[in-house]
Amino acid sequence: MKPALDALREVDTALAAALAQVFAGDALHEASDDSVLEAMAVAGSILRRVEGLLIEATDVVRGRSEGPRDERMTTRVGCASLSEVVQRTTRMSGASAGVLMRGAGAVHRERSMTSGEWLPAMLPGLRAAMIEGAVGSDGVAAASVLVEASGRVDRDALLLADAALGEAARGITRDAATGAAESGPHASAGELRVLAQVWASVLDQDGAEPVEASAMRRRGLTVGPVRDGLARVSGDVLAEVAAQWQRNCDALSNPRVRGGAGVGFAPDGEGADGDEGAGGVEGAGVDDVITAPRDTRTRAQKMHDALATSLDVAARSGELPTVGGGAPTLVVYAREGDVLAGTGWAEVEGINEPVGIGLAERVGCCGSIQRVTCDDRGRIVGLSVTDRVFNAIQRKAISLRDGGCVIPGCHVPAGWCEIHHATDHALGGPTHTDNGVLLCWVHHRTLPTSGWSIMMIDGVPHVRGPAWWDPERRWRPAAGSRLQQRVRVAESRHGGAPPERLRRQDGVPEGQLLRRSR
């Protein structure tokens, strides 16, 4: 082994010298496009060959780390696991070490118990491609799905799949009719992963059942205790549950990731569902059309908000089992004085620590309030209920008027929104269509701090945005539903007065000017 190690050290030294020339004087930045691509290709070739050596070495360490703990190689070198050995010797991350270990399993070889000779690898074709430098660790690890199916698949069939993967890694394609080999582009690691999955699904017709049974046993979610206002959720969900959650996230996540903070026409003036004029009122003047704000939430935050909205919609759908004779209801306890003052703490049933009083205000905005009066000794002496919930008929009417969340650029549909009291109920705002406005879960909870304001003028929601988005800070009518937009277009075409037919069918409700929300 010493001559081979000496040769590797010479390669390392030569590579270091070559790289020094590349980095000296920023030569790569001054190179032509073709030279940059060629440098990347050469570096990729070197990387694949090195990764092949690392996979082989990882397989050797794993073979020597089986058996009693005191006799394992991992124990002799002072490491707790194979992953730790790989990480410490290569300075890789745990994820990268896992890729090497999966790759080692795909090209693993055994010795014959009788002759002591090396037997063919689990996937000999892929191993040969690895030795040639045609495939790296990601590509080899991608074939682990075939290794998992090897116990349920005929060996000859497995070798056919292995040969197909090896040829794809080398850039060899087969004519479907004649089977003749042709040269083509080398498959990437991602393409090899897809090819391996296809072969596994074809060869292992019964493989889905044990996988699904295992998934059903291992499924689960845990919700940790609340600390600093957050509870950690962890676990594994079934594939269809993850897919449905992802679909909900796609439907609820604001697709507008561009847009500026000034006044002008939106560069992409259609909403997620094709609604025109998502950033303003259709048919309005230039001064009334403004760009939609950029959604600054991270992907993880969008996933969280979509889950919160889904849970809220499910809770008020009326289709969930009852709890204590009623629908699953979030119960928040707070002192009336704290709610009116906007300071202090609240308690949520089922949560182990107090929460900010703002939660009580938000829940009370779209829920009912039950007042419990106690005497000095704690005895309950009075009960009263204030109905602040918009009924089903009111909700349908408000949905017809608003169409969805009224914040410009937000495309959450009406069915997923909550109804916000534009003038707080505690300040005398009625539970009336002239005082109710649709807001999504995110904008409802961030309204006091986000810089957005809502005001009802003659029963029509008007929105004023933060200064960074609209420097003029003008009150602008919400875009409304498509039906309402058509009414405004008809008005603009008939001198400001809609045709009698539209007036009777789609007239905007009359109302008085209400105080704007805090």
Residue 419 lies in a domain: yes
Residue 279 lies in a domain: no
Q: What is the pLDDT of residue 112?
A: 84
Residue 94 lies in a domain: yes
Instruction: Tell me the residue range of the domain where 488 lies.
Output: 392-506
284: three-class secondary structure by DSSP: coil
With CA atoms as reference, report the closest residue to 509 among 471, 439, 468, 457. Answer: 457
How many structural domains is the chain composed of?
3
**Mean pLDDT score, 342-357:** 71
Examine the domain organization and report whether 359 and 397 are in the same domain: no
Q: What is the pLDDT of residue 378?
A: 61
The more confidently predicted of residues 63 and 288 is 63
Domain termination site, one of 204, 235, 252: 204
Taking the C-alpha atoms of residue 295 and residue 302, their distance in angstroms, rounded to an integer, is 10
How would residue 73 be classed by pLDDT, with cut points 50, 70 and 90?
Answer: very high
Examine the domain organization and report whether 382 and 483 are in the same domain: no
Residue 231 lies in a domain: no
Residue 185 lies in a domain: yes
Domain termination site, one of 179, 204, 229: 204
- Asked whether 294 and 257 are in contact (CB, 8 A), the reply is yes
Examine the domain organization and report whether 99 and 182 are in the same domain: yes
- Asked whether 46 and 14 are in contact (CB, 8 A), the reply is no
- Asked whether 157 and 203 are in contact (CB, 8 A), the reply is yes
How would residue 277 be classed by pLDDT, with cut points 50, 70 and 90?
Answer: very low
Examine the domain organization and report whether 457 and 415 are in the same domain: yes
Examine the domain organization and report whether 358 and 479 are in the same domain: no
Examine the domain organization and report whether 196 and 63 are in the same domain: yes
Q: What is the pLDDT of residue 292?
A: 56
Q: What is the pLDDT of residue 495?
A: 56
- Proportion of the chain above pLDDT 70, given as a percent: 71
> Who contacts 160 (Cβ-Cβ below 8 Å, separation ≥6)?
none
- Asked whether 100 and 55 are in contact (CB, 8 A), the reply is yes
Residue 22 lies in a domain: no
Q: Strand locations in 331-389, DSSP E?
A: 332-333, 345-348, 355-356, 369-374, 380-386
**Mean pLDDT score, 338-363:** 70
Examine the domain organization and report whether 56 and 198 are in the same domain: yes
Q: What is the pLDDT of residue 255?
A: 46
pLDDT digits (tens, 9 = 90+) for 158-216: 898 899 999 999 988 887 677 788 888 888 888 898 888 888 877 876 655 565 666 77
Taking the complete model, does pTM exceed 0.85, yes or no?
no
372-411 as b/e, with b when 16 or more CB fall inside 10 Å?
eeeeeeeeeeeeeeeebebeeeebeebbebbbbbbbbbbb
Examine the domain organization and report whether 195 and 113 are in the same domain: yes
Q: What is the pLDDT of residue 210?
A: 60
Examine the domain organization and report whether 115 and 183 are in the same domain: yes
Average pLDDT taken over every residue of the chain: 76
**Mean pLDDT score, 86-92:** 92
pLDDT digits (tens, 9 = 90+) for 398-436: 888 888 889 887 878 888 788 888 888 767 788 888 988
Q: What is the pLDDT of residue 371?
A: 62
Examine the domain organization and report whether 410 and 382 are in the same domain: no
